[in-house]
Structures are given as structure tokens and as C-alpha cells.
Amino acid sequence: MTFVVAEIGINWDGDLKLAREMISKSKQLGCDAVKFQAFDLEIVKNHLEKERLLRSSISQENIQKIVNFAKDEKIEWFCTPMYEGAVDMLEPFVKRYKIREFDSRELLKNYNSKIFKKVLETKKEIIISANKSPKNNKLYNNKNIKWLYCVPKYPTKITDLDFSKINEFQGYSNHSNEILVPVVAASLGSEIIEVHITSDKNKDFIDNNVSFDYKELKELMRQIRIVQRIKK
């Protein structure tokens, strides 16, 4: 069974009512988990949208509400920590972590990443997005680590993708606005599919250009489950 993660990320824009709606819709449409992100001021201080990023970040002020929303919907939630302190905050509430593609570059190059080391200490599952094959990395055979093929272009064009080595990853993190792409990844055996979602493509959410709305998510889930039935 392909494990589908609905990346709410920063598209809830700090609106808890909207966060609850997006968690609920993800569950209703068949996703297995929802994911958020955790920033601090140092990470986003030079970003043009830093205020929006900070209010859309998981924090001490909102984490319990997010936990309760996911619990009410009976869906797993987890998060991408982008600073070390976020791991301590998240640790009581999550059973796995996500490492973003940007942080995996250092990890693949010299096995050194402060965020990764902190997460590794938890001994929980780690999902890592990477643009380059991790096959020759000394961490590749670690059973607690799942690697996702990811192209860090927003949006990713079909011509930017190379699925010839996707079997060297355990899954795929999508930044394409074509439903076909994650469906193909599932058909090629991806255990984990991560897709960004949005409540409304007409709103000015930062990640909208790489996100599926509820109608698209419904169709995506329908096609992925068909692929699974065919592959049995």
C-alpha cells in the first residue's frame, strides 16, 4: 500500500480553522498522513514572506491544536523541522520526521547535517527528500531512513524529472502540478508519495503553484489506488 502524505506545509497560512479543514479533507480523500513545517526567525529572516512563513510554522503556541485536529480525524501528522530546537518541540507528538531536500544536500555530500543528527538521536523513522541517488551513501541501508526522489524546482516540469533511478529511492516528493507524475511514481513502486495540497488555488498561498486542490487530490488518490489494485 502506497503511503500518501498530504503536505499542508505553509498553505494553512496560520489559520487554525483552515488547518483543521485541510486535515479533515486529507483524511476524507484517503491520505495516510498530513505534514507541516517548523521554521524559526533565523531560517526565514531574509525571506520576502518571512511573516507569513512564521505564522504558518508549527510552534509551541499551535502544536497542541494541530495534534488534536489530527487525532480527531484519526490521521497521522508529522513535520519537517528546519532548526534543531524544533525537534525537541516535536518529539513528544510525532512518530517520524521529514528532512527537506535542501538539508539532504549536505548529508549526501559529507554525511554532516545538524538537523539530521538531532533527528537521528530520536531513533524514529526519517523521511529524506533528495535530488541525487542516495544508493552509495553509508546511510542507505539504515532501515529507519526512507529516501524520496525530489526535484527542487517550483513547479517541476515533466522534462525536469528522471525516473530511471527511482527504484533507488523508497518514494517520491512531488513539486509538479501534473497529477500524472505522482501516479507514475506509484506505478513504479514508490512506497511513499508526498504531494502539496491547497484549499483554494485562487488564494495567494506561497506554495499554490505546486499544490493540488481538493478536487485534484481526490482524483490523484483514485488513480493511485487503482494502480495499487492493478499491481497486486
pLDDT tens profile 70-92 = 999 999 999 999 999 999 999 99
Q: What is the mean pLDDT of residues 172-199?
A: 97
Instruction: Mention every residue, 6+ apart, whose C-beta is less than 8 A from residue 201.
Output: 208, 211, 213
Q: Residue 108: pLDDT band by 50, 70, 90 thresholds? A: confident
DSSP state at residue 208: G
**If you search the block for the grid coordinates 498553505, which residue do you land on?**
11
Q: Residue 110: pLDDT band by 50, 70, 90 thresholds? A: low
Q: What is the mean pLDDT of residues 139-154?
A: 94
Helix (H) or strand (E) holding 129: strand 125-130
| pLDDT for 109 beyond 90 | no
| pLDDT for 111 beyond 80 | no
Q: With H, G, I as helix, E, B as strand and everything else as coil, classify residue 199.
A: coil
Domain ranges, ordered by start, for the chain: 3-231
| pLDDT for 225 beyond 90 | yes
Q: Which of 7 and 141 is assigned the larger pLDDT? A: 7
Return mean pLDDT, the chain: 94
Handedness of CA 103, 106, 111, 114 (dihedral sign): negative
User: Are the C-beta atoms of residues 211 and 205 closer than 8 Å to each other?
Assistant: yes
Task: For strands 125-130 and 192-197, give the pairing.
Answer: unpaired
Q: Residue 204: pLDDT band by 50, 70, 90 thresholds? A: confident
pTM of the entire predicted model: 0.95
Instruction: Mention every residue, 6+ apart, whose C-beta is less than 8 A from residue 128.
Output: 98, 99, 104, 107, 116, 134, 145, 146, 147, 148
Q: Which of 137 and 38 is assigned the larger pLDDT? A: 38
Domain 3-231 has CATH 3.20.20.70: yes
Helix (H) or strand (E) holding 5: strand 3-9
Q: What is the mean pLDDT of residues 123-136?
A: 95
